[in-house]
Structure 1
Amino acid sequence: MTYADGSVGTVTTTAEGTFTASIGEETGAGTITEADGKICFDPEGDDPEQPTNCWTNSEVGEDGSWTSTSDTGEVVTVRRAEEAAAES
């Protein structure tokens, strides 16, 4: 995923409903839930600096990417890893 400031991160999800994330020097993990058309990422632990964050995805574009908008208004551009790797 690519943030508005150009920084890039990676989120890996599993069929079991977990995720791992790497954004710059920061890493994290937790669980994923889906409700009301949103995908919610709930980081492990009780750190108030890392609350559950829910995102709404747009339709996938012709280039295979889509935007995801958080409940706080943050927008990222997302591409599946295999599609991004094919372009490299």
Structure 2
Amino acid sequence: MKSPFASLVLLLGSLSIATAGSFNTVVIDAGHGGRDNGGSYGKVYEKWLALDTAMRVDRKLRSKGFKTVMTRKSDNFISLPGRVKIGNR
């Protein structure tokens, strides 16, 4: 997607339509992390931006009454199968 910000705005805007009773849990996958920097611009790495965005989405969802699970809360690497396991719990 060309604009993560636009995606975030659409997601948060749709929260007014959804209710916490519609589903049990939202899994937030920050992506990248640890040895996987993702993209970069100078010394700014995608893994940091992804984690920051994921944490902001987590706080917003929780404030609206949603239960959330994050695949990572710090700069650590989690394999794709590991992310799937977290999401399926």
TM-score, scaled relative to structure 1? 0.26
Give the helix-richer structure, 1 or 2.
2
| Greater RCO structure (CA 8 Å; 6+ sep) | 2
For the pair shown, the structure with the greater C-alpha radius of gyration is 2
Give the strand-richer structure, 1 or 2.
1
